[in-house]
């Protein structure tokens, strides 16, 4: 005998009972409205997720004259195609933002990074998440002209009074990474620094220099051009660092493939990692757990960034009062063998004659 029961969407009352709050609080949490603490908002979202509750967002959006659609786009480099979804950080951020938007009853539309100004001014959507904005990126001014809320993944180097962003705590990131290397015995920690007009590279460089000054260590920086071939350019930059006298005892990189590039430059010079050189990079790539040796990485938590950019954008769309428009995400260090310096080999005792 088959059951004739049809699945029904859990009610606001069921979510309220699960979270231990009122239905009004549930409504505010799901819609990004009201003055709720972050702990309460997260408790409601967790209860809704556990019960399988999803907002009937699109129909409600149409009723109030909006689209129920959020856009997500990444920065553009003219006609140069960039496969962002092949980069672990952006892939994780996009999937996380998509899940968060669906949970709140919105459609998330992942948009090409080469839309014309006409498309930006006419595409139907309630708000946009702009990932990795560049200094001269035109998207922000076009959206402000249209009056559409925008949240960026990463702060802008030229701040606007109306900016809203979610970004890594760069000082905390460098403190975690450099502090770990110092604890492993490194005293000459070098940075492979990309020359770029996005805020990430510059803010990371500033945090590195500041940490070195605070801890009385030399700032050893070698710059390289990101375009057109950052793999070769970074390997050459690391090579220049390793050819210095005295040589650095540790090298860090700030891009996803930096660990592979540093390893390649070290091997070319016959240096053993970690015995001769400690290596670490900022990356979400799980492959670093299986390299030889495994590479220490710093995660910028794109899964958390994706959730926060959606929450902040929905709050702006609904004109929620008292919103913190600037949110910093705490990074996580994943220590591996590349920064675990082996103990010195004991000297063999000479046998007495």
Tens digits of per-residue pLDDT, 206-224? 999 999 999 999 999 999 9
Residues of the chain with pLDDT under 70: 1-9, 31-35, 52-65, 76-82, 113-115, 320-321, 344-353
Q: For residue 5, what pLDDT is reported?
A: 53
On whether residue 349 sits in a domain, the answer given is no
* 79 and 154 co-located in one domain: yes
Q: For residue 320, what pLDDT is reported?
A: 67
Q: For residue 81, what pLDDT is reported?
A: 56
Q: For residue 159, what pLDDT is reported?
A: 78
Q: For residue 113, what pLDDT is reported?
A: 64
Q: For residue 117, what pLDDT is reported?
A: 74
* 279 and 314 co-located in one domain: no
Beta carbons within 10 angstroms of residue 234's beta carbon = 27
CATH number at residue 152: 3.40.50.2300
* 95 and 180 co-located in one domain: no
* 61 and 118 co-located in one domain: yes
Per-residue pLDDT tens for 35-87?
A: 677 788 778 878 877 776 655 554 444 445 578 999 998 876 555 556 777 88
Q: What domain count does the chain have? A: 3
CATH number at residue 35: 1.10.260.40
On whether residue 236 sits in a domain, the answer given is yes
Q: Which two tokens stand for residue 166?
A: 């979610």
Q: For residue 59, what pLDDT is reported?
A: 46
* 147 and 110 co-located in one domain: yes
* 288 and 317 co-located in one domain: no
* 202 and 296 co-located in one domain: yes
On whether residue 31 sits in a domain, the answer given is yes
* 294 and 178 co-located in one domain: yes
* 91 and 116 co-located in one domain: yes
* 128 and 236 co-located in one domain: no
On whether residue 232 sits in a domain, the answer given is yes
Give the pTM: 0.80
* Domain span including residue 320: 56-167+304-330
* 285 and 214 co-located in one domain: yes
On whether residue 350 sits in a domain, the answer given is no
On whether residue 277 sits in a domain, the answer given is yes
On whether residue 37 sits in a domain, the answer given is yes
* 146 and 64 co-located in one domain: yes
On whether residue 264 sits in a domain, the answer given is yes
């Amino acid at each position: 005998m088959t059951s004739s029961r049809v699945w029904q969407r859990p009610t606001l009352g069921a979510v309220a009972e699960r979270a231990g709050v009122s239905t009004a609080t549930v409504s505010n949490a799901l819609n990004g409205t009201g003055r709720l603490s972050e702990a309460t908002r997260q408790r409601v979202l967790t209860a809704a997720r556990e019960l399988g509750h999803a907002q009937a967002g699109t129909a409600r959006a149409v009723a109030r004259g909006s689209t129920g659609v959020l856009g997500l786009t990444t920065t553009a480099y003219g006609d140069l195609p960039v496969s962002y979804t092949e980069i672990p950080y952006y892939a994780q951020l996009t999937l996380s933002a998509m899940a968060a938007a669906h949970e709140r009853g919105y459609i998330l539309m992942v948009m090409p990074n080469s839309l014309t100004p006409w498309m930006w001014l006419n595409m139907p959507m309630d708000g946009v998440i702009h990932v990795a904005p560049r200094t001269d990126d035109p998207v922000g001014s076009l959206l402000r002209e249209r009056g559409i809320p925008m949240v960026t993944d990463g702060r802008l180097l030229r701040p606007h009074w109306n900016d809203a962003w979610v970004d890594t705590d760069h000082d905390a990131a460098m403190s975690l990474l450099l502090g770990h290397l110092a604890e492993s015995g490194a005293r000459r920690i070098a940075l492979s620094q990309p020359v770029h007009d996005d805020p990430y590279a510059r803010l990371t460089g500033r945090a590195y220099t500041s940490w070195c000054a605070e801890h009385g260590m030399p700032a050893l920086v070698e710059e390289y051009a990101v375009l057109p071939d950052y793999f070769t350019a970074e390997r050459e930059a690391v090579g220049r660092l390793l050819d210095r006298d005295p040589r650095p005892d540790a090298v860090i990189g700030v891009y996803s493939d930096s660990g592979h590039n540093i390893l390649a430059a070290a091997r070319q010079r016959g240096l053993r990692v970690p015995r001769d050189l400690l290596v670490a990079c900022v990356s979400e790539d799980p492959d670093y757990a299986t390299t030889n040796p495994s590479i220490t990485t710093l995660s910028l938590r794109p899964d958390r960034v994706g959730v926060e950019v959606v929450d902040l954008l929905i709050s702006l769309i609904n004109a929620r009062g008292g919103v913190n428009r600037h949110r910093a995400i705490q990074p996580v260090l994943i220590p591996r063998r590349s920064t675990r310096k082996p103990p010195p080999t004991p000297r063999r005792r000479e046998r007495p004659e």
